[in-house]
Chains A and B, each alone.
Chain A
């Protein structure tokens, strides 16, 4: 097993473990937010292994930086009692959800591997110079995908307006 594979499995284990901890067995809601950070950072590590360096940096900046800080800010703003997690998942619901989720996952993977969608293209070993770095991705963003960038800016503007209106006490 190469070092790259070892890193992938280490990050994958960390991501799955902290994701399960987040929904399953932490005692306090701040601990759930911290588990979310661990998942995000592990995924950023996997992105680096897949030659998506810019995405990895943005993952850490936006998710681990901005989004989780926003969660923590709101948690601190509320005065939460008994860890703030509320009732744990009811056993029956949990069994149902895990059953459905497991069936869907395994079914998808079986169908995908039998139909052979994964074997369409072998992995390209020799990538172009600077693949996934800021320069190449920036050029792609502002030439081929300029319209998408503009539209996502519009989405962000609309959500800012929506958040301000929702958070206001009284609309005058």
Chain B
């Protein structure tokens, strides 16, 4: 008895939407970065879930496309956090604030 894929994808969609809501409504840069991490995690969950569905080729060999993709997403998430926190530190240095509304110089 395995977990139905529909439930995994529903959980993934739910977590992604929570991340979107957090990134769109909060004005604190650290919380926005955490919400982006949450969205990447939701994508990873979908990838691992689909890898479980398409886990074996027609010849019976295992395949790992989804899991390898999830690993790449984890690596990119780590890179994104490093750059994001660098931007955060320079925002603090130049504006003395974590609020993204204080960094609206390029806003139309």
Q: Which residues from chain A sit less than 8 Å from chain B, CB to CB?
A: 2, 4-5, 8, 12, 15-16, 19-20, 22-23, 29, 32-33, 36, 39-40, 43, 46-47, 49-52, 54-55, 58-59, 62-63, 66-67, 70-71, 74-75, 77-78, 80, 84-87, 89-90, 93-94, 97-98, 101-102, 104-105, 108-109, 112-113, 118, 120-121, 123-125, 127-128, 131-132, 136-137, 140-141, 144-145, 148, 152, 155-156, 158-160, 162-167, 169
Q: Which B residues have a C-beta under 8 Å from some C-beta of A?
A: 1-11, 13-22, 24-28, 30-31, 33-35, 37-38, 41, 44-45, 48-49, 51-56, 60-62, 64, 67-68, 70-72, 74-83, 85-90, 92-93, 98-99
Q: How far is the CB of A101 from chain B (nearest CB, A)?
A: 4
- CB-CB under 8 A for A67 and B19, given A5-B3, A50-B49, A74-B89: no
Cβ-neighbour of B20 out of A29, A97, A169 (below 8 A): A97
